[in-house]
Structure 1
Amino acid sequence: MIVTGLHHYALRAGAEIIDECVSFYTSVLNLRIGFRPPFEKRGFWLYAGDQALLQLEVCEHEELGRGAARDRLAFACVNLPVAIRRLEDLGIDYTSNHLVEIDQFQIFLKDPSGLRIELNFSCEKL
């Protein structure tokens, strides 16, 4: 596996904060709302050009209060089979997902601090 760059940043918060963030990022930074696969939770993908840089997701958990939760750090990667073999050789727990709509394979794991890490492989399948 080779990490080729930062893929996106994800932020989860209550509906009011997410709506404020959408307004802020679209009006202040000129990001645009773009395609988002049909996930269960309401949210937005904000794009710069063709790249979805910021993913905003409504979190229904009241414990967030007025704050927001850092959700995950996502990397663009290549060589999916090598990545899976490496994680398995190291005994690292992970889950995976294939977003058919955008032909992207994802691997999710956690770093030692508990932050979720997302590895994205465009047009790669198992």
Structure 2
Amino acid sequence: MTIVGMNHFTVLTAALEDTVRFYTEVLGFETGARPPFAFPGARLYAAGAPIVHLVAVDALPAPAAGVLDHMAFSATDLRHVTSHLRRRGVPFHLGRQAGSGVWQLFLHDPNGAKIELDFDPLEPQPPEM
């Protein structure tokens, strides 16, 4: 067996509408087709692929984060993203990866799932830093 790539992440949520709104309005995902499962949820797409699967539950398990620490996405336009997050009041932490210089921006979704956005090291520093 050879792993050839990541297929998707599944996020459990007790607040489906808020979570869909976060991923679409804050991170720019698009909602898309979802199989007719017997349980509520949503599929969120990036570049035509269903990257984040949301499953609605009555209550989140404890601890909510489980054993996975975070999910990471490649992103572009660091200056726009940081301005967008500030306007929406979404807290984040921005730093540079040692050695590579990759910009790493960390934030959390409404369910507490940690998200990393990685930006090319050549992108200009946001003016707010």
Higher relative CO (CA 8 A, sep ≥ 6), structure 1 or 2? 1
Structure with the bigger percentage of helix: 1
Structure (1 or 2) with the greater strand fraction = 1
